[in-house]
Amino acid sequence: MSLNCTVILAAGEGTRMKTLSSKVLTKVVFKSMLERTIDAALKSDVEDVCVVTGHKSEEVRKVLDDKYETVLQSELLGTGHAVMQARDFISRHADGNVLILNGDAPLMDVETVSGALKMHTESSNSATVISASIDNPFGYGRIVRDENGKFLRIVEQKHASEEEQKICEINSGAYWFKCGDLIAALDTLLSSPEKYAHGDKKVEYYLPEVLEILMEENKNVGAFTTDNPDVVLGANDRVQLLELNEIVRHKILNAQMLNGVSIPCTDGIIIGDDVVIGKDTEILPNTIIRGKTVIGENSVIGPNTVIDDSTIGNNTHLDNVKCNCATVCDNVTVGPFVNIRPNAVVSDSVHIGNFVEIKNSNIGNGSKVPHLSYIGDTDMGSKCNIGGGTITVNYDGKKKHRTTIGNDVFVGCNTKLVAPVKLGNHSYTAAGSTLTEDVPEDSLAIARSRQVIKVNWNKNK
C-alpha cells in the first residue's frame, strides 16, 4: 500500500479571473483546473488527497463531492501556512511522502510527478522541488545551483541579482516532501513569525522558506527538472485560461490522431479527455465531443456536431447533430439539424433526416424518420417509414405516455399519434390523420375530416 499522499492548494481568490466561483473551478477542456490537478496526482504513486480550500470553499467541496478530504485556510498567509492547515492529514502519512501541488496549475503530468518522486526517494531527499526551464522566466522564482549542479536555493524575481535573473530554470510551485520532515520544518517556520514579515509587515509563510530550514538542518534538498515546461503554467485571467485550453485541446487531438482518428482540420474541434474514438473515424470542424462518449470505427462526425455522454457505432454519419446521453448504432445516417435527446436508441441502418427530434425512444433496425418530425417516448419497430411532420403527442398536460409502432409501419405525412396509442405491424396511416385509438395489423387508419369543396365560394364572398 502506498504511503504517499498529496496536498493541493486551492484557497486563492483569483480576482483577475473575474469569476463568480473559485478560480480553481474554471474549466480547461471541460474539466476544472482543480480536477485536472487531482488527476495528475492520482495517476502517480499517490492514494490520499487533501485539498486546502479558502475562497468559495463550499463550492469547491461541492465539486469534490466528498471524494477527498478538505481543510480550510481561513486567512491567506502564504503557501507554507496553507500546507500547515493539512497538518493532521500529513501526520497520518508520517512515514511516507507528500506531494504539494497548486490547484490552478492544471498541466502537471504524471511523468513529471513520478520522475520527481523517483529522484526524491533514490536521493533520500527531505524535499524535492519540481522545476522547469523556460524561455521567459520573468516573474518566477529561480532555481540556483552550484557549479556541480547541486540545488542551493530558490530566489524570487524581486530579490534576484542581475546574474540570477538570467537563470531560466524556475520553481513550478510543486514539491515532494518527506512527511515527517515537512511537519517539523513547518513547526519551526510558524514558531518565528517575526522572521517572516513581508513588505508591509504582514506575516506570511512560504514553502521555499521550508527548504531553507531543512538545509540548515543538513537535510537533503534537490530539484527535479521536468522535460515538460507546460507544467508550470497557470491561469490568473481568462486570456491565460484560453492559452491553457489550447494546449490541452491540441494535446488531446494529437493523441486521437496518433491513435488512428482522422482530423483533417482542427478548427473548432474540442474533444474531452475520456472520449474514445475508433480507427478511421473522421472528425470534421466545429465538432464538440465530451463526457464518456465512445465512437466506433470508420464513422464521420460533423461538421457542427455536439455529442455528450453517448455511444456512436461503426460506419455512422452525424452531420449537424446534437446528441446527448443516447445510443446511435452502426450504419446510421443522421442529420442535418437533428436533436437526439437522452435515452434514445437509434438502431442499425436507420436514417434520421433534417429537423427531427428524438427523445426517450427506440428506433428499430432499418427504419426511416426523414424530416420535420418529433418522436418522443416511442417504441418503434424495424423497417418503418415515418412521413414528414409526424408528431408523437406524448404529454397530456400531467403525464407522459408512450407510443408503440410495430414493424414495417408506414406513417403518412403530418400524422399526430396521441399517446398512449399502438400501431400494429404492417399498418398504414393516412396523411394528416390525428390518431387516438390503436390500429390493428395490416390496417389503414384515416382520421381526418372529409374534404368539402364549395364551388364559387370566393366569388360569392
Max CA separation in the chain (angstroms): 111
338: amino acid identity, one letter:
V
Residue with cell 523517483: 118
Q: Give me Rg for the CA atoms of the chain.
A: 31
Whether the Cβ atoms of residue 134 and residue 142 lie closer than 8 Å to each other: no
What DSSP letter does each residue of 339-389 carry, written as one string?
EE-TT-EE-TT-EEEEEEEEES-EE-TT-EEEEEEEEESEEE-SS-EE-TT
Residue with cell 533520500: 124
Q: Which entry of 81, 120, 317, 371 is annotated as an active-site residue?
A: 371
Whether the Cβ atoms of residue 281 and residue 263 lie closer than 8 Å to each other: no
Would you call 371 a catalytic residue per the annotation? yes
SS3 414: coil
State how far the Cα of 73 lies from the Cα of 202, in Å rounded to an integer.
16
What cell numbers appear for 301 in the block? 462526425
How many other C-beta atoms lie within 10 A of the C-beta of residue 104?
Answer: 28
Cα angle 86, 88, 93 (rounded to 5 degrees) comes to 100
What cell numbers appear for 148 in the block? 556541480
Listed in sequence order, the residues at least 6 apart from 200 whose beta carbon sits closer than 8 Å to its beta carbon are: none
Query: Looking at the annotation, which residues are catalytic?
Result: 371
